[in-house]
Amino acid sequence: MTALRKSWAVAKKNVRIYYLRGPVLIFGILFPAFLFLAFAIGRNVPPENLVPGLIGMSLFFTASAITPTVLPFETRTRTLERLLAAPVTLPVLVGGDVLAAFMFGVFLSMVPILLSFLALDAALTHPLMLVLAVVLSAVCFATLGTLFSTPPTDNPSSIMTLSNLVRLPLIFVSGVFLPISEMPTWGQWLSRVSPLTYTTELVRHATGHSTHLAAWACIAALVGFSLAFWWISLALHSRNMSRRLWL
């Protein structure tokens, strides 16, 4: 419980300093929405069929947006040493980053979810499946964000460049704009490497759309990705932390 309380303290600090800012909140909502609309407008697709992609993209961008920049900022401002001397162990510190990103992703995802079911008239046939999709995906994308923050640098822009180089291509192989069943064979196989694929498929299950992957497979994949991102992130942070402190 002590470790959990410390992670919660780190999360509250991150929310207060990095998340509760007007530009961050607006960017978290508008960027995925405009990117989605840029590809959705002009396509002969019923609006409610676009809901899984809209919800998936919103979760993907919001939960993984700020976490990559937290450690570089704290390296630059020399507050990282104070945190580690608190004492706060590395899992507690990373856990706090994940918790803050998780809350940010879940909170902002409520906007496209409400829009989808109130304005786009989407059907919700499996509410529990939607809850699972939001929670598991927010955890998965938050841990992905901590993985992006592992390079030992105090330059947040370098980390964001790396983050976008990975995140943007993943969108186009994840069934966001085109159902996986309509992709060519190579695209279907490539889609398996993106955690966003499983979010989109779970939301399709929740809204009663036909899916390419079973719900249990999507749940297992999101849990597996989360655990993998978590352990790889801890390993890389542990290896690079001494170099980060010397910057």
For residues 190 and 65, give the distance between their C-alpha atoms in angstroms, rounded to a whole number.
23
Peptide bond into 87 cis (omega under 30): yes
Per-residue pLDDT tens, the chain, 247 aa: give them: 588 888 888 899 888 888 877 666 666 677 766 766 666 666 666 666 677 888 888 889 889 888 888 988 888 888 887 777 777 888 999 999 999 999 998 988 888 888 777 766 777 888 899 999 999 999 999 999 999 999 988 888 888 888 888 888 888 888 787 778 778 888 888 889 999 999 999 998 888 877 888 999 999 999 999 999 999 999 999 998 888 878 6
Contact yes or no for 54/37 (Cβ under 8 A): no
Alpha helices, DSSP H, located in the chain = 2-14, 22-40, 51-63, 67-76, 80-84, 90-118, 127-148, 156-171, 185-191, 195-206, 215-245
Write down the domain spans for the chain. Answer: 2-245
**Closest-CA residue to 215 (of 228, 204, 227, 229):** 204
For residues 139 and 128, give the distance between their C-alpha atoms in angstroms, rounded to a whole number.
17
Contact yes or no for 224/136 (Cβ under 8 A): no
Enter the pTM of the model.
0.90
